[in-house]
Structure 1
C-alpha cells in the first residue's frame, strides 16, 4: 500500500520550523526592560525638562536670570545670541558681571567689533580687569566674521563677544560648530529684527532698556519649555549706584502727572471758556 499523499487523512502533521532570530524576537516582547544605567539616565534629556549642559556654564550675575537659563548660567562651548534694538547701549550691562568673573580668574575676554568704544571706567566699576580684556577693532562684516571665527576656533578665550549685524544663517551654524572647541561662552550681538529668522544658536535672548535703571530680558529660545513674558533685572551703570540719591533711583516716580481736579484761577477759566456763537442779524 502506498503512503498517503500530503494533506490527506493519516498523513503526519507538518512541523513548524522557526529560525533562532525569530525565536529571539518573539522572546524580546516578553522581556521586562531593566532601568537605564545612571550615566545614561543623566545624559538623557526629555523635551518637557529644562536642558542641562555638560560643558558647564558661567553665572550671569543675575539670580533671577540664572533660574531660567539651562544649567543655571550662560552656556560654555555654545553660541548665545543677544538681540538688541541699538548696539552698545545695554549689552555690557547684561554681560559685565560675567566679564568681571572671568577676567578676575586671569582669563581673556575678547570683544570683536563693538559699534562704540568700550567705556573702561564703567567696566572697572563692575569689576572687569582690563588687563585681560582684548578689543579687536574691525568694521567690515567679513573682517568681523573672520576675527570671530579665529578666536572661537582657537578656544583659548574665557569668553568671546562679537557684534555681527550682518551674518547669514549658515555662518551662524558654522560658528555654533566651532564653538564646541571654546571652553567659555560665545555671544553674538545681533539686531532685534533677526528674531524673525531661524538660528542654530541654542540660546537666544532679546534685550531692551526698561525703567528705573532696569533691563528687560526675554528668553526667545532655550533648550526646554518656552519662557513666558520677560524678566526685569536691576542694572544700574557702574559707579552710579554710589552717587545716586534714593529719589533718583526711581526716575519713573518723578514723571509729572496732571491732576484730575485742578483749581484754576478765574483768568485761566475765562481763557478756556468757548466763545459765544453769533447768529446772523435779521434784516
Structure 2
C-alpha cells in the first residue's frame, strides 16, 4: 500500500516578519508619496507613519522638500507640520502652491543641537503633528533610538535630514534614502528598507504640477508662519504651544 503525501500550506508569517526576498508587510498603510515608482519600492506602499525615516544628502536645497510636498499635502488640515531647525526660512509661496496653508506650519529654530533632538522627542511624544521634518548635522546613535521609539508611540510621519556621510554609521531607522540632484530630477537610492535592496536608483521628477490654492484669501498667501516657537531652552513654552 502506497502512502499518499500531502503538502502542507505554508505557515502564516507575523506582520513584523518578512522573507529576505520580499518587502515587509506593515500593519497600516503608508502615507502616499505622490511618486508611483517610489511608493512601489516602500513597505506599506508609502512613507511610513510612526517610524524614523532618514533622508541623506550633501547639501540642502536639492529638491528634498519637493520630494515630500505631495505627501505632506495629503495630511489632514488640522494636523500641523513641524519644521525643526531647517537650514533656511520656509518659503510660504512654495507651501501654498502645494495646497498647504501657512497656518499648518510650525517653524522651530533651537540654538543648540541637543535642543533640536529634545524638541523632536517632545513633538513625537505629543502626537499632535501629522509630520515632523527635522534637520540634524549630528545625532548620536542613542538619540536616534530614543527618537525612533518616540515615533512608534504615534502616527507622525517623521523625516530626519542628515549628511550623506551618516550612511556609514548604524541607525535604527527602518528606511534610509540617499538623495542626489540629477538636473530637473532627484536621484533616490534606497540604502535600507525592510526587504531586499533595489539594484538601481530612482529618478524622480521634481517639477511641481500642483496648482495654487485658489480659495485661499490673498492675505494668507503673504502671511508669515503663524507660530515660530521659542528656542528649546524654554521647554515649558514649547510644550504649551504644542498642547494648544
TM-score bracket relative to the smaller structure: 0.7 to 0.9
**Hey, what does 1:224 align to over in structure 2?**
195
* 2:39 counterpart of 1:73: no
CA contact (8 A) 2:82 2:105 kept: yes
1:153 pairs, out of 112, 121, 125, with: 125
In the superposition, relative to structure 1, how do residues 44 and 195 fare at CA in structure 2: closer, same or farther (>3 Å)?
A: closer
Higher relative contact order (CA 8 A, sep 6+): 2
CA contact (8 A) 1:103 1:128 kept: no
**Hey, what does 1:25 align to over in structure 2?**
none
In the superposition, relative to structure 1, how do residues 127 and 240 fare at CA in structure 2: closer, same or farther (>3 Å)?
A: closer
1:78-113, CA deviations, whole angstroms, 9 ceiling, x for partnerless residues? 110000110244221111111111154x32111111
* 2:28 counterpart of 1:61: no
- How does 1:198-213 map onto structure 2 within 5 Å? 198-211=170-183, 213=184
Matches of 2:123 and 2:117 in 1, distance apart?
A: 10
SS at match of 1:102: coil
Gaps of 5+ in 2: 1-5, 213-244
In the superposition, relative to structure 1, how do residues 42 and 113 fare at CA in structure 2: closer, same or farther (>3 Å)?
A: closer
TM-score by length of 1: 0.67
**Hey, what does 1:90 align to over in structure 2?**
63
Matches of 2:210 and 2:50 in 1, distance apart?
A: 32
Structure showing greater Rg: 1
* 2:83 counterpart of 1:116: no
Gaps of 5+ in 1: 1-31, 242-283
Q: CA RMSD in A?
A: 2.4
Matches of 1:226 and 1:129 in 2, distance apart?
A: 36
